[in-house]
């Protein structure tokens, strides 16, 4: 112990009292092996050994210095010698610095746990609550949110084209390709298909009008349905709406009226994920649809060889013409 060895030969006089009622007596104070030794000045007999790590200063900053072997001890030692006082204080400081600090460790543990809790609340909990809300939403709630998203889209694409002849053709197309979904046709701005909550597939008229038949639209419808199976459209919408809106849906069953403001613009501008051509070609062939038109509509410049298409028509020419004219006023 460097601080102690430096003062091994240092000693001074002091005034020692063994108990509160005992008489004060002059003693010799010296450093021992991790102790403060109090001795009789005439006989040199040790009267007490005080543990240096337990040594307590009773009057910090005041001289003569008063010490006790522990905070609740009855013994008391008074030292006037500045050199001895300085030595005792230096050794005490060195010992305190080396002593374990369970309170400090506890403080760090509590601080770490608090930080982890705050991080959990800020970063994990919102996402977990939104995901939970999407997972427990009822079909009616999904359809309601889908209607809200469609209303947002309609401010940019125009209102859905819902004439009776067009509705008949769309329902027949849905029954053939995506039986669990409802296809909605919008007049402008959307050049492909978007999947909305409530198993709704929104088909853009630009895609219909620039094709000679329904095969390309069929591919985009299947691709959007597959994407929705992997990434829940309701979860995506709730992430946009935010934690408060998701909690409102969980607690009351409805979103705030303005929760999805601007979401339609985001859907129209976000690039669609690149489909797996081989997988989509196989899906279309299994559905009895020639994949050539769909693959060509992707227009990514990459050639793709396909098997000979089966001779099955998705709809009649008259139905296709009906669909192409569905949004004309």
Give tens-digit pLDDT for 302-329.
Answer: 656 666 566 578 899 999 999 999 988 6
Instruction: Please compute the mean of the pLDDT values over residues 151-155 and round it to a whole number.
Output: 94
**For the chain, how far is it from start to end, CA to CA, in angstroms?**
97
Q: Which residues contact 208 (CB under 8 A, 6 or more apart)?
A: 185, 214, 217, 323, 324
Q: What is the pLDDT of residues 10-55, one digit of tens each?
A: 888 999 998 888 889 999 998 877 788 999 988 888 888 888 888 8
| pLDDT for position 66 | 92
pLDDT at 311: 58
Q: What is the mean pLDDT of residues 59-83?
A: 89
**DSSP structure string for 259-271:** TTTTHHHHHHHSP
- Which helix (H) or strand (E) segment is 115 a member of? helix 102-119
232: left (phi over 0), alpha (psi -120 to 50) or beta: beta
pLDDT single digits (tens) 233-242? 999 999 999 9
Distance CA 152, CA 186 (A): 12
Average pLDDT over residues 120-124: 49
3-state helix, strand, coil in the chain (%, to 5): 50, 15, 35
Q: Which residue has the higher pLDDT, 76 or 309?
A: 76
pLDDT computed for residue 100 by the predictor: 58
pLDDT digits (tens, 9 = 90+) for 186-209: 999 999 999 999 999 999 999 999
257-302: per-residue pLDDT in tens?
999 999 999 999 988 888 888 899 989 988 889 898 999 888 755 6
Task: Work out the pLDDT band at 114, boundaries 50, 70, 90.
Answer: low
pLDDT digits (tens, 9 = 90+) for 156-165: 999 999 899 9
Give the H/E segment covering residue 245: helix 243-252
Confidence of residue 1 (pLDDT cuts 50, 70, 90): very low
Closest among 44, 50, 39, 90 to 74, alpha carbons compared? 50
């Amino acid at each position: 112990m460097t601080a102690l060895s430096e003062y091994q030969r240092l000693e001074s006089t002091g005034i020692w009292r063994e108990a509160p009622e005992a008489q004060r007596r002059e003693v010799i104070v010296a450093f021992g092996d991790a102790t403060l030794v109090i001795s009789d000045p005439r006989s040199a007999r040790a009267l007490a050994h005080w543990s240096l790590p337990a040594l307590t200063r009773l009057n910090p900053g005041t001289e003569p210095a008063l010490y006790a072997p522990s905070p609740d001890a009855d013994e008391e030692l008074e030292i006037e010698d500045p050199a001895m006082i300085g030595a005792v204080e230096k050794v005490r400081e060195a010992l305190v610095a080396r002593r374990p600090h369970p309170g400090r460790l506890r403080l760090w543990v509590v601080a770490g746990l608090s930080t982890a809790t705050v991080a959990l609340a800020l970063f994990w909990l919102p996402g977990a609550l939104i995901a939970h809300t999407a997972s427990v939403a009822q079909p009616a709630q999904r359809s309601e949110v889908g209607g809200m998203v469609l209303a947002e889209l309609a401010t940019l694409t125009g209102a859905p084209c819902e004439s009776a002849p067009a509705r008949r053709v769309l329902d027949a197309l849905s029954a053939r390709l995506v039986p669990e979904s409802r296809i909605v046709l919008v007049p402008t701005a959307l050049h492909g298909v978007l999947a909305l909550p409530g198993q709704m597939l929104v088909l853009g008229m630009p895609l219909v009008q620039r094709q000679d038949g329904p095969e390309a639209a069929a591919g985009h419808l299947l691709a959007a349905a597959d994407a929705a199976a992997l990434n829940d459209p309701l979860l995506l919408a709730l992430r946009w709406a935010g934690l408060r809106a998701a909690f409102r849906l969980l607690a009351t069953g409805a979103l705030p009226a303005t929760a999805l403001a601007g979401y339609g613009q985001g859907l129209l501008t976000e690039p669609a994920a690149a489909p797996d051509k081989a997988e989509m070609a196989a899906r279309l062939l299994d559905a009895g649809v020639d994949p050539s038109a769909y693959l060509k509509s992707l227009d990514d410049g990459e050639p793709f060889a396909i098997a000979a298409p089966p001779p099955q028509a998705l709809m009649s020419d008259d139905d296709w013409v009906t669909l192409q004219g569905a949004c004309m006023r």
